Structure 1
């Protein structure tokens, strides 16, 4: 394999994977189709392997292409991180910060804070990544991450922001129609909302509430935001963050004495970013936002 293949060739390779054709990759990258063809040919010559085969639906990746895909995606993440780092230590709060958070936190909690942050620092740009997959900060998949677990890597700066309480909730309309469960056994007569695939949280929930199994779910969706939407629509009983449920008086707690679950919330970033104004400002704003979100509410 030759060693003079530049990053732009792998960027072209990823574009062909995504678009399924040379012409589509050319449009996506803003280059000519012959240039795309030359890049792919150079990669194939370097690897001494065909990377794509033609079909009626477009270009299909070979096993060789699938084998190098992950490495190329890592190169893309690293290139993006280098670009962000290049402007990370300029004077003032300016440039791009990539923030990763769970789906619910990213969609339901962070946007108001990010709007205020941009009002104070209009030159700041935020890339928000709502995902339940843990982004690798050491590989620069994100600059700052909100996680529901303490970080394990030594090179990360972390601040605990509190505990997110989870409970079972249902919409008032659903409970008026089907009644309020009194015991965990009553849940077997209700429409339950949960995950399709087994998750660590589902296993932990089953330990607290044995009836909470995949087979018992009337609605299965591998998205926290999707589950929240189903609860709000009155589809059934599901798990919801208590802080979010308190925003809507029509969402009522179900069996609080039988099911309560708390998740530690952490804000983390690579220690190399501490000297950058934009990363520090964003990190501190995230901590304050999540501390307010997780602050216990006194019982009335």
Structure 2
């Protein structure tokens, strides 16, 4: 096996794994199909093993290719972090690229105003906003800064606890006007409930705080927090919503505040190696300040 495998070949491997064909990878990577083919042949020669077999549905990866995927994705994340660091400019200037990861709801409902204000004050700042309810790894530099609803467990991170965002049951006034206010938690079974489809480890860990509500309780199921919020705002039923969001237009009415209160600790974290990066520090501080106001709203 070759002692050094060029990143270019592994990048092409990732493209083919993701797209399922040489032509799809060529389009995604901005290469020609013959070039993609040559890269795969060269990588197979360097590894002395086949990486794909042809099937009626396209290219089927071998076990060797699948085993390489995670390592190639780590290299991809490191290359992206290197590029962001290379464009950070002088330490005295707020000029550069900062990648922020957060949940869908926070990214769409809470952070846009914060980022708009940052751009007004620092036009040289570029922010990449990665929205996902999956935790991205700051140590592998999949992102520079993370807004999380669970305490960071990894070392080598600078983390600031913002406070606790309370989640409660809410409904649009139009829904309650049509169906009435449930008299008790038990009466919720006669209403349209909006909630999750997949029981994730995060939800399982908080099952005691759901007041006996399970997946089978939901008439409208979706794993997108944004879609759940949209359904509640549309008057489709009763669902869980962050209390500060419920105060926004359209205003939602909270139900059973004493019986159903789901506090979510909120943290802002970044890799400790970025503490001296002026762009990262500016974004980190802005997020801490804005989210502190949001938690107290």
Query: Is the partner of 1:44 in helix, strand or coil?
Result: helix
Unaligned runs of 5+ in 2: none
> CA separation in 1, counterparts of 2:202 and 2:29?
40
> CA separation in 1, counterparts of 2:139 and 2:274?
11
> CA separation in 2, counterparts of 1:209 and 1:269?
31
> CA separation in 1, counterparts of 2:186 and 2:201?
23
Q: Which residue of 1 aligns with 2:80?
A: 80
Could you tell me how far 1:19 is from its partner in structure 2?
2.4
Unaligned runs of 5+ in 1: none
| Contact residue 89 and residue 96 of structure 2 kept, 8 A | no
Could you tell me how far 1:237 is from its partner in structure 2?
0.8
1:240-251 equivalent positions in 2, closer than 5 A: 240-251=241-252
* 1:198 partnered with 2:199: yes
Q: Which residue of 1 aligns with 2:5?
A: 5
Q: Which residue of 2 aligns with 1:106?
A: 107
C-alpha distance 149-37 of structure 1, shift in aligned 2 (>3 A):
same
Query: Is the partner of 2:175 in helix, strand or coil?
Result: helix
- Tell me which moved more, 150-159 or 138-147: 150-159
| Contact residue 168 and residue 242 of structure 2 kept, 8 A | yes
Q: Which residue of 1 aligns with 2:286?
A: 285
C-alpha distance 209-4 of structure 1, shift in aligned 2 (>3 A):
closer
Q: Which residue of 1 aligns with 2:144?
A: 143
C-alpha distance 204-236 of structure 1, shift in aligned 2 (>3 A):
farther
Count of matched residue pairs: 296
| Contact residue 89 and residue 277 of structure 1 kept, 8 A | no
1:1-300 equivalent positions in 2, closer than 5 A: 1-88=1-88, 90=90, 91-203=92-204, 206-295=207-296, 297=297
TM-score, normalised to structure 2's length?
0.94
| Contact residue 53 and residue 62 of structure 1 kept, 8 A | yes
- Provide, for residues 87-127 of structure 1, a one-character-per-residue CA deviation record: whole Å limited to 9, x for no partner: 33524111110001111111110011101111111111111
> CA separation in 2, counterparts of 1:66 and 1:235?
43
C-alpha distance 205-28 of structure 1, shift in aligned 2 (>3 A):
closer
Could you tell me how far 1:201 is from its partner in structure 2?
4.7
| Contact residue 211 and residue 260 of structure 2 kept, 8 A | no
> CA separation in 2, counterparts of 1:225 and 1:63?
37
| Contact residue 164 and residue 266 of structure 2 kept, 8 A | yes
